[in-house]
Chains A and B, each alone.
Chain A
């Protein structure tokens, strides 16, 4: 590796560490994003339906659920990470490691996705809902045949934002031994004074985020017929 003085400290072991860290990041972001979407999308639909102008208008319920969502969203992630350790231990059997980091990441992602989904659904013209009601559609049909398909490009754009944000959050997972690229950068680049490791981590993360964003943009373009 003599040709590149900056990366001359990159031993075989470090390279392997790099790959396993990248994999940990992908696992943490991927799983928490997907599970977060499974929770967040229905939650967002629920918020939209019960809100003013929704088909199941219910101000009381909307305020309670909305308040809960806001509470989770306003808790700093690093605090959330340690505050829910009992829950994490209950769900994964351990409070440390990559699997354990997925739990707080998911809990942070779900309300974030819920709000993004709610905002996308709000963009769907009320006239379309009216048209569906005039056809005799049930609430379930309005959601599945009108609201979600019409909001899909917006929802996918929201999920892309979520995946990018989760990539940033996952760097903090090192605090509970979650691993990942961010953790690698802190432990090797910062604590062991290996600035080139830090630089490499940042470069890989930039490429990673770029890839996620491009994939998301491509999907939105494919889905949108406006």
Chain B
């Protein structure tokens, strides 16, 4: 039997590095990573059959529902190799699967010596997987190529084995074939992990250095920090110190996850586990930082630490102004578990009080919003997302603009915007479509390679601002869902950008201001003024709606004054009905926002800020709930 009972397996802090294998699984959403992980838990018998549930390691509802993993975790799996009969400890480090969390992925990879590259052999490799594969290769990880879902009728293992072999430089027959669903090939995979992935190397006598690759807030325990020990030893007796801040913490608990938490005496070289220090906020225990001991601190931190930098900003406002304190509370709570989330109070003439929030990317934004709404039962309006601009004014001042309303009015010397390198993977029939979309979005073609006969990798540089709008939705719909996208920031570039304001009766409506490329300003202006003309009900006076760049009007519409607002008839039976209608309208009046003298229904704001894709998504969601 290859499985070893937990009690008889090598114990934490007493496991020799030669017995340890640290690996992660690189895979795209839907390619079956969680199912494979479940299968590994079952085969190594760390989870008893009767306790097994699907996606065992995904803790949040939202993870299970969306089928994606937001927070990584590490599981200790004892395994007796079927090849040499020796006992080993496999640490499986789960990695987040999405582009927004590239930094977290890179830290998870830095905690491993090897990676299982898991590809659905009915779909082939996706852009994000490719990006993570390149990251793993840069980290000098041993890559084990694995084709999953070989039980599917649509499986094309030969075709995708070729593709993988070409990518990582191995032979097609080196690709393992498994089915997470049936369990076929998983035992061999575990044996190959032991055989191919090198054991960790470190100096047990050197000052302690442990890499933080994840940090999670737990309501009962405070922050739980996941670490990989590189050198030295961590034990409960130690006082530890964060290298970046120098702050000292008591060590309350050390342990491993197998896959439930198991307290241990400590963690030795190459081991993976968790520490609890009583810290209440994940920002004090940041991913990428190095933990050392207070008594014998290291002088050299592990490389690669950086502060997560928000790339996308959006205003979040409670639909009901009275919910503002609730929103603040909810954000405070969420930040305990999300070091990348930043926010500050913002007040909008149109939307009232809310928060300007910074996110790693669009998915991060969506997840935060969804968690706020779900966990705190809030209804939110979010303004159109925008990126961070560096604006140099006429008098040489440099401003960082994260909100169109902060955009300076006077003379502008230059504006710089973030640029990303985007990689799109798609069937070659869509090359034309994809290039067209990227050109529309100010993209510059950087190169193109065929991964196989009919699949192609297209590389572009694009302004991030063009991606945050609805690029991904467009890409998906224009390629019937076949294309996948990955992007990474590569710096800033000067852009011909302007701020377009929307004015209602001469009053600027901050929520609708946008920073856009000069060539698209007119389109934005006409789109927004047209939308508002439809959405704002006629009032007693004419309402001009204008789009303007500075003092120059680029588009205008007008809502004619209402002339008739009366029902002709009001006899005996109509009286009650009419009074009740009035009482109902009283409620509606509460949801009106005043912009100057103009009454704007809340729905108009929501609808004007919503893209068509959002509406489709909302509809799909509503349908799911039915």
Indicate whether A and B interact.
no
Footprint of A on B, CB under 8 Å?
A: none
